Each structure stands twice: as structure tokens, then as C-alpha cells.
């Protein structure tokens, strides 16, 4: 079935989620400190202890969710689905098995479903931060899931 797309506007002031696995928290903190001035123009959100560390390092308000393994990843996924997160910066550790891997996979999946920019490492995060779209309104194409669901319901 061919899915149609609709345009959803991302505001100039983005809602940026910042997440890091334990072995990547120091890397994320170093990255946000290097980009504090640019990030200060946006709303920040983070899971668990990452949020507390970010607030301390940046001196900026950070909306703090639960720790990832305790439901924070799922809270973040719900925010993405509801249109409450515009960009996901998630420094994950690909070499360390995580007990909440299904939650992480679900989070990354929902970010793709709703077509939001995602960075999983410092290089990609740098590219997103350097984008002229970060501080400008952006017309983000997303699948028209209402039409998709209606077509599936009508299918034999």
C-alpha cells in the first residue's frame, strides 16, 4: 500500500531530547557543553540521571523524565508520537548489552515512524546542530496515518 504524506511544521525553537547510555554520558555532557549557546535557544528534555547531569553542566532547565530502563524511553517515545519532541540526540553504546534493548529499539523505531531527526553519535549530532533547519521552522513530511489506517480498515 502506498502511504501518502502530510506536512507537519517543526517550530524554530525545537524540543530536543538528549539521552545517553551509562558509558556514553560523559561524551554527551562534553558535547552539550561545547554547544551550550546553541542548545540554550531550544527546549531540552532528557531521561533519568542524564537530565540531572545536563542541568548541572549547562545551568539550563531540562525537562526530566524517568530513567530509560524504568520507563523513560517509553515516555520519550510517547512524546515523539504526540508531537512533543522535534529532535532526538541519543548517544547509545553499541558494544554494551542493555537489559532494556527492546525499549531502545521501540524509541528509535517511533522516531523513524514520525520522521524526526535522530543522532546516535557525536558526528551526527554535530551535523544536526550545524543544520540551518535547527533554528528555523521546518516542514517535516510524515505519513498520513489516518488515511493509512482507514485504507487498512476497508481492505478485505
Quote the cell numbers at residue 103.
Answer: 525499549
- 3-state helix, strand and coil shares in percent for the chain, rounded to the nearest 5: 50, 20, 30
The catalytic residue among 73, 101, 126, 135 is 73
C-alpha grid cell, residue 7? 506536512
Q: Report the alpha-carbon distance of residue 144 to residue 93 in Å, rounded.
A: 33
Is 73 in the active site? yes
- Rg of the chain taking only CA atoms, in angstroms: 16
Grid cell 547509545 — which residue? Answer: 92
Report how far apart, in Å, the C-alpha atoms of 63 and of each of 42, 43, 44 are.
Answer: 12, 8, 6
Helices (H) and strands (E) in the chain, counts: 7, 7
Residues labelled as active-site residues: 73
Amino acid at each position: 500500500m502506498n502511504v501518502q504524506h502530510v506536512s507537519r511544521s517543526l517550530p524554530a525553537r525545537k524540543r530536543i531530547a538528549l539521552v545517553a547510555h551509562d558509558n556514553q554520558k560523559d561524551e554527551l555532557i562534553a558535547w552539550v557543553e561545547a554547544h551550550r549557546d546553541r542548545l540554550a535557544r531550544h527546549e531540552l528534555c532528557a531521561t533519568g540521571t542524564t537530565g540531572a547531569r545536563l542541568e548541572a553542566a549547562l545551568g539550563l532547565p531540562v525537562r526530566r523524565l524517568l530513567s530509560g530502563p524504568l520507563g523513560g524511553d517509553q515516555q520519550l517515545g510517547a512524546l515523539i508520537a504526540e508531537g512533543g519532541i522535534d529532535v532526538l540526540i541519543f548517544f547509545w553504546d553499541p558494544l554494551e548489552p542493555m537489559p532494556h534493548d527492546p525499549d531502545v529499539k521501540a524509541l528509535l523505531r517511533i522516531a523513524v515512524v514520525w520522521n524526526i531527526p535522530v543522532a546516535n553519535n557525536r558526528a551526527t549530532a554535530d551535523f544536526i546542530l550545524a543544520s540551518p533547519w535547527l533554528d528555523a521552522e521546518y516542514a517535516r513530511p510524515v505519513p498520513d496515518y489516518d488515511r493509512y489506517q482507514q485504507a487498512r480498515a476497508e481492505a478485505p
